[in-house]
């Protein structure tokens, strides 16, 4: 490597400057996107409210997590595999001890982790789920027609941290600093892409669901 004299230098850069750059882009991007949405505002509603907004809004954030039967019948694969993927992904992200250490260092909160074989199994399932999703996207004619380069980019930047994490955990690339460096770098790539793509759904879903629930609540419709 010309840029770095050795794998340790690469890891140092990834854990230092590169992380700061990625974190800055992530924070700036997310704040801009959220402010853009919130500051745009809505037209003032003059009608008499028939119910409250906050309660139904918050309830809707949770209740919309369950797909309605019509949607489920139309796309059972996406919903089942999507669920499996999200659960496994959050197990890996939030319950692997090195990840908890990172969160603790940055946010000051921590919780118990899981033994590595559970993390390992979850990673394998998450990787398999993502491959299944890609296969589905490529073979389903309508989905394929609707897919843009952004969908494939989002898939890739989400897939890479799982793959490199698995490789680093099993030390499949030597030396280890290179494997760990590639894993952290792939996460940094995800952080940079996150605010400007559909990955923002991880944040905007709360806004969107709350807004839908609140609108319904105001109109007195059960959501």
Partner 1 sequence: MNKKTLFELLQQQGITRRGFLKYCTALTSLMALPPAMIPTVAKALESARRPSVIWLSFQECTGCTESLTRSHSPTVEGLIFDYISLDYHHTLQAASGAAAEHAREQAMKDNYGKYLVVVDGSIPLADPGYSTIAGISNLDMLNETVAGAAAVIAVGTCSAYGGLPHAAPNPTGAVSVSSLIKDKPVINVPGCPPIPTVITGVLAHYLTFGSIPELDELGRPKVFYGQSIHDRCYRRPFYDKGLFAETFDDEGAKKGWCLYRLGCKGPMTYNACATLKWNQQTSWPVESGHGCLGCSEPNFWDAGSFYQALSIPDGDYARAAGYAAAAGVAVGAAAGFVHQKTKSTAVAQHSEISVDDFSLNKD
Considering only 77, 90, 152, 176, the residue that binds partner 1 (CB under 8 A) is 176
Q: Which of 47, 70, 109, 117 binds partner 1 (CB under 8 A)?
A: 117
Question: How crowded is residue 15: how many other Cβ atoms within 10 Å of its Cβ?
Answer: 16
Residue 190 near residue 157, CB atoms below 8 Å: yes
Using CB under 8 A, pick the residue from 92, 157, 162, 180 that binds partner 1. 180
Instruction: Kindly tell me which of 60 and 186 has the beta carbon lying closer to partner 1.
Output: 186
Q: What track of x and - describes contact with partner 1 for positions 83 through 112 (by CB under 8 A)?
A: --------------xxx-xx--xx-----x
Q: Measuring CA to CA, which residue among 199, 194, 217, 195 is closest to residue 63? A: 217
**CB 15, min distance to partner 1, A:** 5
Number of H helices and number of E strands within the chain? Answer: 11, 0
C-alpha span between 62 and 68 (Å, rounded): 13
What are the phi and psi torsion angles at 16 (to 5°)?
Answer: -110, -100
Task: Summarize as ranges the residues that interact with partner 1 (CB under 8 A).
Answer: 5-9, 11-12, 15-17, 19-21, 23-36, 38-41, 97-99, 101-102, 105-106, 112-117, 171, 175-177, 180
């Amino acid at each position: 490597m010309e840029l770095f004299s050795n794998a340790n230098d690469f890891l140092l850069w990834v854990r230092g400057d590169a992380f700061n750059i990625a974190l800055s882009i992530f924070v700036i991007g997310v704040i801009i996107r959220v402010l853009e949405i919130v500051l745009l505002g809505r037209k003032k509603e003059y009608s008499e409210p028939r119910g409250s907004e906050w309660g139904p809004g918050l309830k809707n954030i949770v209740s919309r997590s369950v797909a309605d039967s019509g949607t489920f019948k139309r796309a059972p694969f996406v919903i089942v595999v999507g669920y499996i993927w999200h659960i496994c992904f959050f197990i890996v992200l939030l319950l692997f001890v090195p990840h908890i250490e990172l969160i603790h260092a940055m946010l000051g909160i921590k919780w118990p982790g899981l033994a590595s074989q559970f993390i390992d199994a979850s990673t394998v399932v998450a990787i398999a789920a993502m491959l299944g999703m890609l296969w589905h996207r490529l073979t389903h004619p309508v989905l394929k027609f609707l897919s843009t380069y952004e969908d494939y980019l989002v898939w890739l930047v989400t897939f890479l941290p799982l793959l490199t994490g698995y490789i680093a955990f099993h030390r499949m690339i030597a030396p280890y600093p290179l494997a760990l460096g590639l894993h952290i770098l792939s996460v940094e790539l995800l952080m940079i892409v996150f605010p400007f793509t559909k990955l923002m759904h991880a944040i905007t879903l709360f806004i969107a669901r709350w807004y839908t629930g609140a609108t319904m609540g105001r109109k007195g419709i059960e959501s």
